[in-house]
Chains A and B, each alone.
Chain A
Amino acid sequence: MTSLDGLLQGFQLAATPTNLVAAGIGVLLGTFAGMLPGLGISGTIALLIPISFGLDPLTALVIFGGIYYGAAFGGSTTAILLNVPGEGASVVTCVEGYAMARRGRAGAALSVAAIGSFFAGILGLAGLVLFAPTIAGWALAFGPQEYFCVAVLALVVLSGISGQSMIQSSLMVVIGIMLASIGIDPMTGVERFTMSTDILADGISFIIVVMGVYGMAEVLQTAADGDCAVAPPRIAFRDLYPTREELSRSIPAIGRGSIIGLLIGLVPGPSGTISTFLSYAVEKRFSRGRKQFGSGAIEGVAGPEAANNGADTSTLIPLLSLGLPFNAGAALLLSGFLIHGITPGPDLVNTRPDLFWGLVASLFIGNVMLLVINLPFVGFFASVLRIPLGILMPLVAVIVLSGTYFMNNNLSDLWLVIAFGLFGWLLKGTGYSVAPLIIGLFLGPLIERGFIQSMVLADGSLITLMARPFSGVMLGAAALFIVVRGSVEIRRRFGSKSLGVGSQTL
């Protein structure tokens, strides 16, 4: 079956009335999730856990895909209207988008952001259609050595570019691997680190940690911040039209931003944030309206928003073809899949093409829905921002706990969610990123199984592992990255110290 045949079959499956409604619900919920601080993708997924149990797997995937897409769009709405970046990727949208809103051009900023996101999303999905099946086909030939080496490279790169010190992010990755080792060792059947308690005997579920460090931690942070609802400006439908000049300036920025996003999304790490900053820097230097930057340049909204959505879409390529989540958003989407017993990766593409292509087609549909539904109703969405967080957060807290309970009907899981919520809140509050921890936790078992099987097959010889062409290249790239990143860090510290001494002398 060619990719085009698969996609057409996927559209047949995704375009049923049930799945279209599911895509609409997912997109709407995702938009709310992105807009409302504290709800987030994890809170929305928790809300849907009990509701989605009776659904067909594809319908559930379609809803989770819609949430993933919608959340990225919702983030830009709060950034433009309220100057509140819900996530790192929306920071630069705040700068130019909010400045445009203060000039009375909020509608134009929102519509250009939506058009940019749509264009980049479609381009990213085209990449997914072209490359994911091919990569998944190659991955079928992967042995434990290859999987181990890909996972190591992903974690090494992630540790180096998570926006914090390399020591902190590497520590988070290792703590994730430690958490993954709790429970019964699948290779030897030995119970590890369970402290003879039932609560830890089956290990710590990836989804429970996600619910804790994202869902519950966000609730705690918002509770600590207090009830701070801000009134957004009212937007009429006619305000949504960008002027001809705004549109002509946006188109090249959207093109550049999309390409940046698509490429950065293939690199492990916070691709959304990195791609938006990179796109902003490019626009600030090369765009026609570069002199307006800081006071509401439309290119500063169009480029970064396209880059963010492009990165969010292209990061689905490694997730769906290899089963590797390269950033926090992909890990959250993965948790939604795992709840329904669906593990993304080459097996999904090759043995369940109906699910894979159905999901891909639904993402196309979701992208169109996002544009068609959200733009005309942006005024309504903005009014959602008037809901006081003091009311919303208690409800989200109860929903996160209820959703977690219904996964296994086990009250012990709730204790873990609360514990990880506290852990995540303290870590985030003191500047640690929890994304490397989550990805370390997911990849930990893969690394352990891959390494042990590789060692048994190679009779304990590390050289054999490196001698395999693909494994060797991956390990070589990981080693090169460590050397380059380490030398940059040392040079930066050495440089800043000598600068500090110099300035004191002066």
Chain B
Amino acid sequence: MNDAYRSQPSAPTMQILVALTLLAGCSLYLYAAMGFSFGVWSSPKAGFIPRIAGCLGVTLAACNVARVWWTAKPGPVDLGLSPRRAFAFLGVLVAYVALLGKLGFLPVTFAATLALLLVSRGRRGLVMTLTIAGAFSVGIWLLFGSILNLPLP
């Protein structure tokens, strides 16, 4: 078993973390919904559905936490063999979006594609990786910018 696989949190821990996050999200939503007027049944206001949805959400999320907590096997967890690689992908994509408006479409798309290819394939076939990243980024730059005349960031 590789290191990446071993580094995953256990299934029940992951389940409880997600269930608690959902409960926290629903609670925050309900708290914010209380700031809007409910109105009356014959004249509902902006907070009418949000308060009902918030109450339902908190109740269901609490039941879900209880279900996960008290069930011996709450269900399988499958975040892939190497969740770290998915987080590395996320990091590159975040950088891509952050830099897209500043440095322009072509250089940032090339850099992001190259980085993503390196994350997913490693350093094997570096020339091939560079060629794919170059050809792909120039290809979509030409397609979007020149052929379709779309405004590029």
Q: Which residue numbers of A lie inside 8 Å of B, CB to CB?
A: 50-51, 53-54, 164-165, 167-168, 170-171, 174-175, 177-178, 181, 185, 187-188, 190, 192-193, 216, 219-227, 388-391, 393-395, 397-399, 401-402, 405-406, 409, 411, 414-415, 418, 421-422, 425-427, 429-432, 447-448, 451-452, 455-456, 459-462
| Beta-carbon contact of A226 and B80 below 8 Å | yes
Which of under 10, 10 to 19, 20 to 34, or 35 or more describes the interface residues of B?
35 or more
| Beta-carbon contact of A394 and B150 below 8 Å | no
Cα A50 to Cα B4 with chains together (Å): 37
Q: Which residues of B contact A190 (CB under 8 A)?
A: 36, 45-46
| Beta-carbon contact of A429 and B79 below 8 Å | yes
CB of B138 closer than 8 Å to a CB of A: no
A-B contact count (CB 8 A): 191
A-B contacts besides A188-B46, A409-B151, A409-B153, 17 pairs, CB < 8 Å = A50-B150, A171-B60, A177-B53, A185-B46, A190-B45, A223-B85, A224-B79, A224-B86, A393-B89, A393-B120, A397-B93, A398-B96, A398-B116, A401-B93, A430-B18, A431-B77, A459-B42
Q: Which residue numbers of B lie inside 8 Å of A, CB to CB?
A: 14-15, 18, 22, 25-26, 29, 32-33, 36, 40-46, 48-50, 53-54, 56-57, 60-61, 63-64, 67, 74-83, 85-86, 88-90, 93-94, 96-97, 100-101, 109, 112-113, 116-117, 119-121, 132, 136-137, 140, 143-144, 148, 150-151, 153
Q: Which residues of B contact A53 (CB under 8 A)?
A: 148, 150
> Which residue of B is nearest A177, CB measured?
B53
Q: Which residues of A contact B25 (CB under 8 A)?
A: 175
Interface centre among A174, A455, A456 (most CB of B within 10 A): A174
| Beta-carbon contact of A223 and B119 below 8 Å | yes
| Beta-carbon contact of A223 and B120 below 8 Å | yes
Q: Which residues of B contact A164 (CB under 8 A)?
A: 75
7 contacts between A and B (CB under 8 A): A219-B89, A226-B80, A394-B117, A395-B132, A398-B112, A432-B18, A455-B42
Query: Chain B interface mostly helix, strand, loop or mixed?
Result: helix
| Beta-carbon contact of A460 and B42 below 8 Å | yes
Cα A398 to Cα B116 with chains together (Å): 9
| Beta-carbon contact of B46 and A398 below 8 Å | no
Give, as a whole number of angstroms, the nearest-CB distance from B50 to chain A: 5
Q: Which residues of B contact A406 (CB under 8 A)?
A: 144, 150
| Beta-carbon contact of A188 and B45 below 8 Å | yes
**Which 4 A-B pairs rank lowest in CB-CB distance, beginning with the nearest?**
A224-B80, A460-B42, A394-B116, A460-B41
| Beta-carbon contact of A460 and B40 below 8 Å | yes
